């Protein structure tokens, strides 16, 4: 059998759970229409439970309709971009579906972004409307972007009365130093109030015609090791397809009967699609957390009979040693899944010893609408991130070309399926490099090095580019280097990830100072400089000064050599 045929024969199908189809049919429906259909069916059921505050599907639908009507009156229409700069909260869900109902596309912004990072995303996505947590408004103001609508939200509005006081104080402490606009300032600046809009407008969203295969639903930002983050274009069909693929692959889940712990951040594709969107279009109840407070999460697991738990490697690494982990009956859950980064085998072994359950790994990217592979629940394989979902073709090709490599050999993972993005927003060059045609099929080059074994299970090997994963976040080496180069005393810099079982990788910067600055500029000073110019998770945890840095044959700093040195030390 030729190498290509070995992949196209889809050997993984032999190991699908009973009843799981090889392919799926993608319904010609938009995301908000899918949500409305489910919310009508389960209107009496709790959609969200937010620190004790229960919101039914009927109430959630009404609020999304009201918000859609408000956006329509504010001039937001089909094709516009609405930015969501919020923590996990009911307002996030309402704004998300409300924006989609007017035909707009959403672009989620990380709450830990600096004003410069916020500015880049707002400009690049063409957003003219932003829904913003009031404690984060300071960064929007400093971004100095001309916006048509700024809608401020207060997370405390949906907390129960007793929780409201403590919740606001806790957030105020977490976001200390941020300026919250006064009532007078809001009026002068023309800022809108989220709750005020919900109360003002009737639940009558505009009539919008959707072409699910062409209309964009979301612009989530991702990136490589070069340049600034870029947005993946995800259509309504991409998202609807992913829902069908995951429900088909996990027949153990029953529509309208599941409960999920929603603590993964919704701005990230994992939390947004796998937790929030999948839960709400399947009639599940989501126990919603603003922050991943382990105590709160563990207390909620048995209280609300959570049936699906989605985490990242660093969380499982922490939980396996936590004193209260044993209080949860983990064997009762239908699924304990891990994504967003590579799961260390030691974590898997320790978790199973502690809880008597398995963590099932999956694989996905922003470009695949969050997921492309998952471990079969009845037959996971140690060290593998599983098999392709129904409708997904996966293969391994030569890193430098398009030749299919023999089964068992390492190469670049390529993917084809209905959940694959349409391209990168405003990035024709990057789109052409990532979406390639091979033998009449359009494939996504993932940039990840993997191998497929004889049974069709895939195993992660390494990253093609220098992407650093810290606590599930993606850190782009060049972006950190660009910030370091802005320091007047930095002559050269190279940034790599150093393996760490607790956080995945820590960011390490090798720096060459200008001759006059040597001995005068400290590691701490550079770290503080970075803190002022980028999100906290991107800031180097280690800075090492060098007289010179290793170079490639074309004169570039060799990150590969630096990474090898860091790993050896």
Which residues are 374's β-sheet partners?
362, 387
Q: In the structure, what pLDDT confidence band is assigned to residue 563 with cuts at 50, 70 and 90?
A: confident
493 located within any domain: yes
CA distances from 455 to 43, 212, 294, 412 (A): 43, 35, 37, 18
119-128, 333-342, 389-398, 471-480: least confident range? 471-480
Q: Is 15 within a domain?
A: no
Residue 536 has pLDDT above 60, yes or no: yes
SS in 3 state form for 272-289?
Answer: HHHHHHHHHCCCCEEEEC
Rounded percentage of the chain residues whose pLDDT exceeds 70: 95
Please give the mean pLDDT across all residues of the chain. 91
Q: What integer pLDDT is reported at residue 461 of this predicted model?
A: 74
Alpha carbon 544 to its chain centroid, in Å, reads 31
Residue 494 resides in a domain = yes
Domain boundary among 162, 194, 209: 209
- Closest to 465 measured CA to CA, from 421, 433, 426, 487: 433
DSSP 15: G
Q: How far is it, in rounded angstroms, from Cα 84 to Cα 125? A: 12
Task: State which of 209, 227, 251 marks the end of a domain.
Answer: 209
Rounded-to-integer distance, Cα 341 and Cα 537, Å: 15
**How far is the C-alpha of 401 from the C-alpha of 10, rounded, in Å?**
22
In a domain? residue 452 = no
- In this predicted structure, the answer to whether residue 528 has a pLDDT above a threshold of 70 is yes
Last residue of one domain, picked from the residues 167, 190, 209:
209
- Interval 359-407: pLDDT, tens: 999 999 999 999 999 999 999 998 899 999 999 999 999 988 999 999 9
At residue 225 the predicted structure's pLDDT band, cuts being 50, 70 and 90, is: very low
3-state helix, strand, coil in the chain (%, to 5): 35, 25, 40
The whole domain housing 500 covers 467-568
Phi and psi at residue 153, in whole multiples of 5°? -125, 145
pLDDT of 478 over the 80 cut: no
Q: Write down the pLDDT at residue 256.
A: 97
| 292-to-63, 173, 285, 296, 311 alpha-carbon distances in Å | 26, 16, 18, 8, 10
Domain count, the chain: 2
With beta carbons less than 8 A apart as the criterion, state whether 497 and 480 touch. no
Q: Which of 130-134, 353-357, 415-419, 561-565 has the lowest mean pLDDT?
A: 561-565
For residue 101, is it within any domain?
A: yes
Q: Which one, of 167, 163, 165, 120, lies nearest residue 140 by Cα?
A: 120
* Tens-place pLDDT, residues 26-40: 999 999 999 999 999
Asked, for residue 237, whether it belongs to a domain, the answer is no
For the segment 184-208, what is each residue's pLDDT rounded down to a tens digit?
988 888 999 999 999 999 999 999 9
How far is CA 485 from each of CA 479, 490, 514, rounded to the nearest angstrom?
A: 10, 6, 11
Domain-embedded: residue 538: yes
Q: What is the mean pLDDT of residues 443-459?
A: 95
Is residue 553 predicted with pLDDT exceeding 50?
Answer: no
SS3 category, 85: strand
Find the mean pLDDT for residues 215-227: 76
CATH number of the CATH domain containing 511 = 3.30.300.30
Structure tokens at 489: 């005393």
Cα three-residue angle 45-50-53, rounded to 5 degrees:
70
How far is Cα of residue 173 from the mean position of the Cα atoms in its chain?
25
CA-CA distance, 88 to 127, in Å (whole number)?
Answer: 20
Q: Tell me the two tokens of residue 476.
A: 């782009």
The reply to whether 176 falls in a domain is yes
Q: Apex CA 9: angle with CA 3 and CA 14, to 5°? A: 125
CATH number at residue 84: 3.40.50.980
pLDDT class for 218, splitting at 50, 70, 90?
Answer: very high
Percentage above 90 pLDDT, the chain: 72
Q: What are the φ/ψ torsions at residue 268 (nearest 5 degrees)?
A: -85, 145
From its phi and psi, is residue 386 left (phi > 0), alpha (psi between -120 and 50) or beta? left
């Amino acid at each position: 059998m030729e190498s290509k045929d070995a992949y196209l024969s889809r050997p993984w199908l032999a190991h699908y759970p009973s009843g799981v189809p090889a392919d799926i049919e993608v319904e010609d429906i938009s995301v908000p229409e899918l949500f409305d259909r489910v919310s009508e069916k389960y209107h009496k059921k709790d959609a969200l439970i937010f620190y004790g505050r229960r919101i039914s599907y009927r109430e959630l639908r009404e609020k999304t309709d009201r918000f859609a009507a408000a956006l329509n009156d504010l001039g937001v229409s089909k094709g516009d971009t609405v930015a969501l700069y919020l923590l996990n909260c009911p307002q996030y869900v309402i704004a998300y579906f409300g924006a989609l109902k007017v035909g707009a596309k959403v672009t989620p912004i990380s709450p830990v972004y600096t004003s410069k990072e916020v500015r880049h995303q707002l400009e690049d996505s063409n957003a003219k409307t932003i829904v913003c947590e009031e404690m984060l408004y300071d960064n929007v103001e400093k971004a100095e972007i001309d916006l048509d609508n700024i809608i401020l939200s207060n997370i405390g509005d949906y907390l129960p009365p007793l929780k409201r006081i403590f919740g606001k104080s806790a957030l105020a402490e977490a976001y200390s130093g941020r300026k919250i606009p006064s009532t007078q300032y809001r009026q002068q600046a023309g800022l809108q109030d989220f709750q005020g809009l919900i109360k003002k407008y009737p639940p009558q969203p505009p009539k919008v015609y959707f072409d699910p295969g062409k209309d964009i639903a979301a612009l989530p930002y991702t990136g490589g090791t070069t340049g600034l983050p870029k947005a993946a274009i995800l259509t309504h069909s991409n998202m609807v397809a992913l829902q069908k693929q995951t429900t088909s692959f996990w027949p153990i889940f029953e529509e309208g009967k599941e409960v999920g712990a929603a603590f993964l951040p919704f701005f990230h594709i994992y939390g947004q699609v796998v937790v929030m969107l999948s839960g709400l279009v399947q009639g599940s109840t989501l126990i919603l957390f603003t922050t991943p407070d382990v105590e709160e999460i563990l207390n909620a697991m048995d209280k609300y009979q959570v049936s699906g738990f989605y985490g990242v490697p660093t969380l499982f690494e922490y939980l396996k040693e936590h004193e209260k982990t044993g209080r949860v009956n983990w064997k009762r859950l239908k699924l304990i899944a891990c994504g967003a980064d590579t799961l260390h085998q030691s974590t898997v072994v320790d978790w199973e010893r502690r809880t008597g359950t398995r963590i099932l790994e999956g694989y996905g990217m922003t470009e695949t609408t969050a997921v492309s592979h998952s471990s079969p629940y009845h037959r996971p394989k140690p060290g593998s991130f599983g098999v392709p979902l129904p409708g997904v073709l996966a293969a391994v090709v030569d890193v430098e070309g398009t030749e299919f490599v023999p089964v068992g050999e390492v190469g670049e993972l390529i993917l084809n399926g209905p959940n694959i993005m349409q391209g990168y927003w405003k990035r024709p060059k990057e789109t052409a490099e990532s979406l390639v045609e091979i033998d009449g099929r359009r494939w996504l080059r993932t940039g990840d090095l993997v191998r497929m074994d004889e049974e069709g299970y895939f195993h992660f090997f390494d990253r093609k580019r220098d992407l650093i994963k810290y606590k599930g976040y993606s850190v782009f080496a060049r972006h950190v280097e660009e910030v370091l180069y802005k320091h007047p005393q930095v002559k050269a810099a190279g940034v790599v990830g150093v393996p760490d079982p607790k956080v995945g990788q820590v960011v390490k910067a090798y720096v060459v100072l200008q001759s006059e600055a040597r001995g005068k500029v400290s590691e701490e000073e550079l770290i503080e400089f970075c803190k002022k110019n980028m999100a906290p998770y991107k800031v180097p945890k280690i800075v090492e000064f060098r007289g010179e840095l290793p170079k490639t044959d074309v004169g570039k700093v060799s990150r590969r050599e630096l990474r090898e040195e860091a790993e050896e030390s």
